[in-house]
Structure 1
Amino acid sequence: MAQWKWPAFYTTPMTQVVLVGITCFATVGMFSAVSNLGAGGLEDVSLSDTANSVLYAMFAVTGLVSGGIANVLGPRLTLFLGTLGYALYVGALWCYQTQGTSWFLILAGAILGVTAALLWSAQGAIMMSYPLEKDKGKAFSVFWAIFQFGSLIGAIIALAINIKSGGLSSVSTSTYIAFLVIIFVGVASAFLVLPPNLVVRGDGTLVKLQAASKPHEEIIGMWRVLKDRRLLALLPMFFASNYFYAYQGAINTARFDAPTRALNAVLEGAGAIVGALMIGYLVLDIKWLKRRTRGYLGLGVVTFITIAVWACGLGWQASFDRARAKELPYINYKDADYRAKAPLYFFYYFGDACYQALAYWIMSALTNDPFTLARFAGLYKALQSAGAAGSFGMDAVETPFLNELLASWIMMLASFPLAFLVIRTIKETNYGDEQMIYAEDVQHAAMEQGGATEGEVGSIDKERDDIVAETEVKA
């Protein structure tokens, strides 16, 4: 019986990266757009901080095992389950605004923490393992640009709807409806992503022979990850990578009115897109440099950007504190004072994209195995979320803004020397250390054992994988 044959372009790594980018564009992107409006579009900053603290705490706990769960369930089901929490959370924000149900918002935050860990583990494995080694920086750029384009579109929607509201500090009902419609499109798009055994790289190799892993293999695999000194050295970088979101959101809420918050979100989305494309294409994947040299260059660029941007932020922050922020009038985008603030929000997220790109690129340079990289991604998101939970908790008790800024900045700077030590261990290629399986060989093995025609094995399907797996066992 003939099997479904996927078009050649559909089984390429970059197509799959684009697809998972679309999924995150429509789900995480909409969540980011709401969050970037300042306190998630809520007037009650304390409630928003509490919900986010619970969210990231659950994210951190689930992230420790989400890579293994993603490997067992496969990318499609994992992505589908991961997207559902975003719809629930945005719905809970809407429900709170109309009904005042604060308990539901906190519960939705906890559920989202669990589902988001699943989504990001599957996403990380796809983005880091599917492309060829020479294209991993570009793969991040493409994914991050598409994903952040969701934040950008969401922010533009919010800006267009709220621009006439002037001093309104909460998000309108029509904004939430627009977000939810886009999110449900993202939920459905999760089923378009292919498992690693169906994806063929540009050199003719399969990403992985198996479509999924087994529970006992994940327990052993996670233990090996936790013993990897290179990953341990990256933990400070992981922890610091989202710590600053609480501070930036708090400043956005404290100093800008609603339309200007939406405009800041537009600038943040634009900065993230530009930063991702530049670091991936112009730094991390430069053709004429060796891989380790590209890593050093990327680290140097990210260090410079982090110092420059946050120094500018410090200059502004030194002019006010929490008490004074409550007394000062909100800044509107028409005010002359806003002209010096707008570039800061652009470059905050420009730098964020570069920082995230470097972290993902270093992890993806350590191995090409999708199951191992799913565990890496889970651990990355676990530590990242633990940091975010701590930062939102820090903001919830009204820690001085200056302390929040310094904590975020110093942790990023402290992570760079350890990242340098890990980059020193990167090999020019990992292909020689890992089993390479060519799609053509798998097709021939299926034809010889199953008696199928060439047209019937044109796609790399599960039946053929079972045949090849049996052949390897016999060998």
Structure 2
Amino acid sequence: MFSAVSNLGAGGLSNIALSDTSNGVLYGCFAVTGLVSGGISNLLGPRLTLFIGTLGYALYVGSLWCYQTQGTGWFVIFAGALLGVSAALLWSAQGAIMMSYPLEKDKGKAFAVFWAIFQFGSFIGSIIALAINIRSGGLTAVSTSTYIAFLVIIFVGVASSFLILPPNRVIRSDGTIVKLEAASKPHEEVVGMARLFKDWRLLALAPMFFASNYFYAYQGAVNTARFDGPTRALNAALEGAGAIVGALVIGYCVLDLKWFHRRTRGYLGLAVVTVLTIIVWAVGLSWQVTFTREDVTAGRANRINYHDSNYKGKGALYFFYYFADACYQALAYWIMSALTNDPFKLARYAGLYKALQSAGSAGSFGMDAVATPFLNEHLASWLMLLASFPLALVVLHTVKETNYNDEHMDYVDDLKREAAELGHAPGPAPAAAAAAEESSIEKASVDNGPGDVKA
């Protein structure tokens, strides 16, 4: 729902400067908290971390609604700061779950499913906004009923966080437990964070992390400047649809192709993302050079309505902007998840990823807040994306076919046997017994090589 509001342009507000300031504060707090959010998630466990993390989104959307009715700009900025803190917690826990719970052969698909569900919320929210606002073609800000609809859906998400199981109660289909411990210890997190900043692979991925959300401010600003209210909502729906399709395509059809070795799949994913980035942003540039921010301010660039003849190409552009974005995000997560299977390490990776990503977002919203020319914002975003690819290629070269041989894996059968010998019940949940009966699919895939195991 936060994505849906953001994709409406200026967070659904008529005051673009306030939206940029709030987003700058939000992502600044997000960046700082992200440096430690992985450790906090490991200490609290995923369930409590997700619950705390989701509350900030409800407060932020509520602040937008309050501003719309009461004009309380300070509350929007304050809520943005709190959301930055809570969102860092949510995304660290989410990243650890998505990257560590699946089998190695399914990590691309895991991202695809998550991103599709995540963007489906944005898509539905945008459809709601479009349905509510479509009769008011001159609308400059989102209506109150739109915010109410968003809040209802967000609170459903808050409640659903209690359905998440901790890693010590999750059994993969090959009978392995994600992690024996439900949570880590403070001193372990201090050591883990210190090691994080010594890992050259993560430092090499830093430009990719930083660039991964940098372009959102630019795309949102152009959406606000060049389209009327209903068309902004339609663009947001197209963005959500593009993100869903992009995630499913790269997750299922590229990153998890069973006919190729893991490193080859990574190379293929990088090639796909590189080509998409070049083509889509080149098309965007061809449109961007036809107008400037000054043209919009002076009224020389009329706002486009979806009924206009020149809209079709613009709608397709926003679809493919987010199609390419989903592929880029998928590749970043897939590379991180290929470095380890440990959920505690991956929580720290996710925290660092979101910290650098949010630092980039804070900078981009700050750039937009001071009325930087649209062309400069476009080129900065595009060049950052392109600059990240060579370093990602270097990291991909270190990806192993599997991490199972280097990291200790705990099988439910082994734990049950040890528990029986000691004369007490095993540690994992009783549900482990059923999971343990399933065949070791992942182990067979590693032993036999790609393409030799039936899914």
TM-score by length of 1: 0.89
Q: CA-to-partner distance for each residue in 1:226-249, whole Å, 9 max, x for gaps? A: 100000000000000000000000
Query: Quick one: distance in 1 between partners of 2:247 and 2:411?
Result: 31
The equivalent residue for 1:75 is: 46
Residue 380 (1) aligns with residue 353 (2): yes
Residue 264 (1) aligns with residue 235 (2): yes
Change over 3 Å in CA distance of 1:159–1:442 after alignment to 2:
same
Q: CA-to-partner distance for each residue in 1:10-38, whole Å, 9 max, x for gaps? A: xxxxxxxxxxxxxxxxxxxx011011111
Which of the numbers 18, 27, 38 marks the counterpart of 2:9?
A: 38
The equivalent residue for 1:188 is: 159
The equivalent residue for 1:170 is: 141
Q: CA-to-partner distance for each residue in 1:26-77, whole Å, 9 max, x for gaps? A: xxxx011011111011110000000000000000000000000000000000
The equivalent residue for 2:377 is: 404
- RMSD, aligned α-carbons: 1.2
The equivalent residue for 1:11 is: none
CA deviation after TM superposition for structure 1 residue 440, in Å: 1.8
Structure with the higher helix share, 1 or 2: 1
The equivalent residue for 2:217 is: 246
**Amino acid in structure 2 at the alignment position of 1:216:** H
Say which SS state the counterpart of residue 320 (structure 1) adopts: coil
The equivalent residue for 1:340 is: 313
**Amino acid in structure 2 at the alignment position of 1:394:** M
CA deviation after TM superposition for structure 1 residue 447, in Å: 3.8
Residue 364 (1) aligns with residue 304 (2): no
**Amino acid in structure 2 at the alignment position of 1:268:** E
The equivalent residue for 2:176 is: 205
Query: Quick one: distance in 1 between partners of 2:219 and 2:93?
Result: 28
Q: CA-to-partner distance for each residue in 1:102-136, whole Å, 9 max, x for gaps? A: 01110000000000000000000000011111100
Query: Quick one: distance in 2 between partners of 1:304 and 1:126?
Result: 30
- Contact 1:446 1:457 (C-alpha < 8 Å) held by counterparts: no
CA deviation after TM superposition for structure 1 residue 444, in Å: 3.0
The equivalent residue for 2:291 is: 320
Unaligned ranges ≥5, structure 2:
434-455
Percentage of identical aligned residues: 77
Query: Quick one: distance in 1 between partners of 2:268 and 2:137?
Result: 45
Residue 443 (1) aligns with residue 423 (2): no
Which of the numbers 444, 448, 459 marks the counterpart of 2:431?
A: 459
- Contact 2:169 2:429 (C-alpha < 8 Å) held by counterparts: no
Query: Quick one: distance in 2 between partners of 1:431 and 1:297?
Result: 23
Query: Quick one: distance in 2 between partners of 1:157 and 1:298?
Result: 34
CA deviation after TM superposition for structure 1 residue 460, in Å: 5.1
**Amino acid in structure 1 at the alignment position of 2:139:** L
**Amino acid in structure 2 at the alignment position of 1:332:** N
**Amino acid in structure 2 at the alignment position of 1:264:** N
Query: Quick one: distance in 1 between partners of 2:405 and 2:157?
Result: 38
The equivalent residue for 1:133 is: 104
Of 324-333 and 443-452, deviating more is 443-452
TM-score by length of 2: 0.93
CA deviation after TM superposition for structure 1 residue 457, in Å: 6.2
Say which SS state the counterpart of residue 188 (structure 1) adopts: helix
**Amino acid in structure 2 at the alignment position of 1:384:** Q
Say which SS state the counterpart of residue 92 (structure 1) adopts: helix
Residue 429 (1) aligns with residue 402 (2): yes
Of 304-313 and 318-327, deviating more is 318-327
Q: CA-to-partner distance for each residue in 1:425-473, whole Å, 9 max, x for gaps? A: 0011110000010012223333443545x9x962359xxxxxxxxxxxx
Change over 3 Å in CA distance of 1:223–1:174 after alignment to 2:
same
- Contact 1:443 1:460 (C-alpha < 8 Å) held by counterparts: no
The equivalent residue for 1:471 is: none
- Contact 1:89 1:105 (C-alpha < 8 Å) held by counterparts: yes
Which of the numbers 237, 260, 271 marks the counterpart of 2:208?
A: 237
The equivalent residue for 1:282 is: 253
Say which SS state the counterpart of residue 184 (structure 2) adopts: coil
Residue 121 (1) aligns with residue 97 (2): no
Say which SS state the counterpart of residue 239 (structure 1) adopts: helix
